[in-house]
Amino acid sequence: MNFKNNKLIKIFILGVFLIFNIHGITNTDSSIKVSKKQPSKIHHNENTPLPEFDNAVKKQVSGKLDSIMKRFNKRQDFHGNILVAKNGKILFEDQVGYADFSKKIKLKKDDVFQLASVSKQFTAVSVLILYEKGLLKLDDPVTRFYPDFPYKEVTIRQLLNHTSGLPQYFWLAEHEWDKELPPANADMMQMIADHKLLHYFKAGSRFDYSNTGYFVLASLVEKISGKSYKEFVENNIFKPLQMNDSFVYRYRFDDMAENQLYGYRIYRGWRHLKIGGTVNDAITGDKNIYSTTEDLFRWITALNSGKLISKETLNLMYTKGKTKYNKEVPYGFGFRIDDKEEEMMIYHNGKWNGFSTSIRQFPESDLLIITLEHSSFHSMKSLNTSIKNTVETYLKYFY
């Protein structure tokens, strides 16, 4: 990006001022100013305030990121919330667009989005919590816990890194389910045992992204813990981390929360139509966690600091898996791993029923970008790239 000379002079002066007059940009002492989160509309209690950048730094970067959000809103129909954190502190947090299109209600920062496939990382950690308790081994076959599971060679590790070769459960739900309520996890596990659909490929032989694998993992969590997946995640992740606006939602089994959003689709190029639930929307593990940007910041911060699982186990999550032929796959446990660019990225995207979601971590620069949207947005990669480039461009004047 080219700057005019007077802008460069202003930035240089501001940088000098910050260096000599502002302390606490990179430390974590009590001088850091934080803003208190408003009470949740779900649990009606306050969260611990989150660490934020000094206002002078935030103001410099936020103006540019705000412009990016507005541009994507206008040109790409982005309606969502974004949080950017650097060195463990919130650098930018804002929202643009509508929560309810028919009523013209604007989005708020505590509105709750369906995470879609970003939910998979919570399933992975749930499994790893049980692993650290000695209740399962990663190379255990699924049949250790579900003897009737028809794919005898499939292991928990293969489910975690998408090398299981399992067929998609969506087909079964859409073609074989004939009851009024949609199938829950236990129902689908029984359907898989009854119908014995053909395996896509021999377990462990290659990578193929599988929603079925993560619903099976959530079912294993239920079988081993004796709790529903909803209860397990609530008690072992959401409550300990004060993720008070996060929950597992099962269509037609659970009530909608007050600030829970619907997804939308565009009709005839301009009209936003609400998307309802489907026969696949009571299955958990591969999707159906709802959350906010601030709760997801709590989640990543706690995960990386060892509050949920050990650093050794976390390293397994953030390491590429391998096929039985020792070929690397671009997926760890619940996260995609991209090390082809100059800087490694640990990330996941989600897309379901109008929701588009993304968590991107850049460990080397300690940068985190969380993006949640609900109007069938199609330019997530472009938006996140613009955010990252802008942050890197402006922060280099302060470091």
Rounded Cα–Cα distance for residues 43 and 120 (Å): 24
First-to-final CA distance of the chain = 18
Locate 67 and state its tokens: 């412009």
Give which of 349, 339, 319 is closest to 161, Cα–Cα. Answer: 319
356 is catalytic: no
Give which of 144, 232, 228, 142 is closest to 192, Cα–Cα. Answer: 142
Q: Are 292 and 285 in contact (CB under 8 A)?
A: no
The catalytic position among 40, 62, 117, 225 is 117
Locate 13 and state its tokens: 């002066």
Locate 383 and state its tokens: 């938006």
**Beta bridge pairs of residue 349:** 358
Rounded Cα–Cα distance for residues 116 and 356 (Å): 8
What's the distance, CA 315 to chain centroid? Answer: 18
Residues identified as active-site = 117
